[in-house]
A = this chain, B = another copy of it.
Amino acid sequence: MSVKIGLIGTGTVGGGCIDIIKNHREDFKRHYGVDIELVRVCSLDRKEAEAHGVGDLFTDDFNEIIGDPEIDLVIELIGGTGVAHTIVTEALKAGKYVVTANKALMATAGEEIFHLADEANVEIAFEASVGGGIPIIDPMKHSLISNEVSSVLGIVNGTTNYMLTRIGEDGLTYDAALKEAQEKGFAEADPTADVDGFDAAAKIAILASIAFNSRVVLGDVKTEGIRNISPVDLKNAREMGYAVKLLAIAHRTPEGIDVRVHPTMIPLSHQMANVNGVFNAIYVVGDAVGETMFFGEGAGAGPAASAVMGDVLDVARRITLGVPPIVGCTCTDKLPIASMDSLETRYYIRFVVPDRTGVLAKAAEVFSRHDVSLRSVKQQGTSEHNEVDLVFVTHTAREKNIRAVLDELAGLSDMLLSEPTVIRVED
């Protein structure tokens, strides 16, 4: 008996899945005793299906998949929270197993989706939603489950990691790095979701929910992107012994779950400091296991399809054996989300000011008045336009006080000639 699959979305990842099924179906039968059969393929573009040799399975109406009683398992690969939400929820209600790579959907409607899966006695699997091909959701739900996880740190957006690598190693400006990433196909025409951190935010919401057995949604994640990062910041960081990464962070704290995405300095000696280019890595700290890291390609047809098809085979194996769903929603604990105000860390802050006597002293006074103690202050850069960079590195300070400093500086006329670059330090 084959497990019958309907696939919706024939872009890069969908095409990769079709190829894996075509190339390895016989291997899967021999190795795992599981026969997966692609019976229907839905997309807006018949040519995409034809390009992968499955034009005969094509439909442009997803209802022909979720309404087909023969189909056991639906792969949703169109992304987003619109039509994809309808497809996933309706497929589950129709009693079909669902595998998805949809981080936005899982990070916003995860709880609803888990409950629908529970009610229908089927499974929802979403390994590909975080870290491309890197196994991370399954290991956290199985191998690491005996741990109380204290922290999850992720470099989970390949676009920004590629850009930061290029800015840091080759001195490209933000704009040049973005242009190059777009030319290479690593960044979208509209790069907002990547460079402003929302893609990473959705992923850390998903990981935090699993790590802490408590629902974390996209809206819970405080998010800052990399638009204000310049080559000089990465150079300064390196001189201080740090690499700068757009880090997705989730810590268990006494005040609740501290969850955020922002440019972050990590020590050059840390394993994650060497994760460069489009590679992703997720770092998990547990009370028994200590430190572990999962590294690999975070995007692309092959890696994402590997994760989707790993889920498909796992689910198909249980369907074949007649085994009920095993792992459901990780939402038993109801932990609060910690306010970012109470965050205590060190800060690197740079902004451009007019090259005028007294500006530095005036800025330093604002830090001092808000109880932020400075570890180093530096004025740097040419003053050809009568502008200079001021670089402040603080001792451990409270986020709330830093916010007050930045607000006051922004309010001083003739002080800030640029939006401040703020990089937090994670030691």
Interface residues, chain A, with chain B CB atoms under 8 Å away? 16, 20, 24, 27-28, 30-32, 127, 133-135, 138-139, 142-148, 213, 271, 274-275, 286-297, 300, 302-303, 305-307, 309-314, 317-318, 321, 323-324, 326-327, 330, 332-333
A302 & B324 in contact (Cβ 8 Å cutoff): no
A286 / chain B contacts, CB cutoff of 8 Å? 133, 306
Contacts of A313 in B (CB 8 A): 145-146
> A16-B288, A289-B307, A291-B296 provided; 20 other pairs, C-beta below 8 A?
A31-B330, A31-B333, A32-B145, A133-B289, A135-B135, A135-B143, A138-B139, A142-B314, A146-B305, A146-B309, A146-B310, A147-B306, A288-B305, A289-B302, A290-B302, A292-B294, A294-B294, A294-B295, A318-B326, A321-B326
Contacts of A147 in B (CB 8 A): 306
Chain A interface helix/strand/loop/mixed: mixed
3 closest cross-chain pairs (CB), A and B: A135-B143, A146-B309, A292-B296
> A27, A146, A302 — which one has the most chain B CB atoms within 10 A of its CB?
A146
Known: A133-B290, A296-B291, A317-B326. A143 touches B303 (CB 8 A): no
Contact call B333/A30, Cβ cutoff below 8 A: yes
Are A332 and B30 interface neighbours, CB within 8 A?
Answer: yes
Query: What residues of chain B lie closer than 8 Å to A323, measured between beta carbons?
Result: 321, 323-324, 326
Knowing A135-B139, A287-B302 are in contact, say whether A27-B295 is a contact too (CB < 8 A): no
CB distance from A170 to the nearest CB of B (A): 15
Residue of B nearest to A296 (CB): B292
Which residue in B16, B139, B148, B324 is a CB contact (below 8 Å) of A139?
B139
- Min CB distance A222 to B, Å, is 26
**How many whole Å from A268's CB to the nearest CB in chain B?**
10
Given A139-B138, A143-B135, A288-B306: A27 touches B296 (CB 8 Å cut-off)? no
Q: Provide the residues of chain B in CB contact with A305, threshold 8 Å.
A: 146, 288
Residue pair B24, A148 in contact (C-beta under 8 Å): yes
Could you tell me the distance between the alpha carbons of A296 and B283 in the complex, rounded to whole angstroms? Answer: 9
Please indicate the chain B residues that have their CB under 8 angstroms from the CB of A148 in the complex.
Answer: 24, 27
The reply to whether A135 and B145 contact each other, CB–CB distance below 8 Å, is no
A-B contact pairs, 13 of them (CB 8 A): A20-B288, A28-B145, A30-B333, A138-B139, A138-B143, A143-B310, A147-B306, A271-B274, A288-B303, A288-B306, A293-B295, A294-B294, A321-B323
- Closest chain B residue to A310 by CB distance? B143
CB distance from A16 to the nearest CB of B (A): 7
Instruction: Return the contact of A310 from the options B16, B145, B297, B327 (Cβ within 8 A).
Output: B145
A245 CB → nearest B CB, Å: 15
Query: Which of B145, B292, B309 is within 8 Å of A288, CB to CB?
Result: B309
Give the CA-CA distance A142 to B136 in the complex, in Å: 11
CB closest chain-B residue, reference A127 = B143
Q: How far is the CB of A133 from chain B (nearest CB, A)?
A: 4
Contacts of A291 in B (CB 8 A): 296-297
| Distance from A337 Cβ to chain B, minimum over Cβ atoms (Å) | 19
Tell me whether A292 and B16 are in contact in the complex, defined as CB-CB below 8 angstroms, given that A213-B31, A310-B146, A324-B323 are known contacts: no
Contact among B31, B275, B309 with A332 in the assembled complex (CB-CB below 8 Å): B31
Q: A135–B302 contact, CB under 8 A?
A: no
Q: Given A142-B310, A309-B146, are A303 and B326 also a contact pair (CB < 8 Å)?
A: no
CB nearest neighbor in B for A140: B135
Given A20-B146, A310-B145, do A297 and B302 touch, yes or no (CB 8 Å)?
A: no
Q: Knowing A30-B333, A142-B142, A147-B306, say if A133 contacts B274 (CB, 8 Å).
A: no
Whether the Cβ atoms of B289 and A146 lie closer than 8 Å is: no
Residue of B nearest to A135 (CB): B143
From the candidates B16, B288, B310, name the one contacting A133 in the complex (CB within 8 A): B288
**Which residues from B are CB-within-8-Å of A295?**
271, 292-295
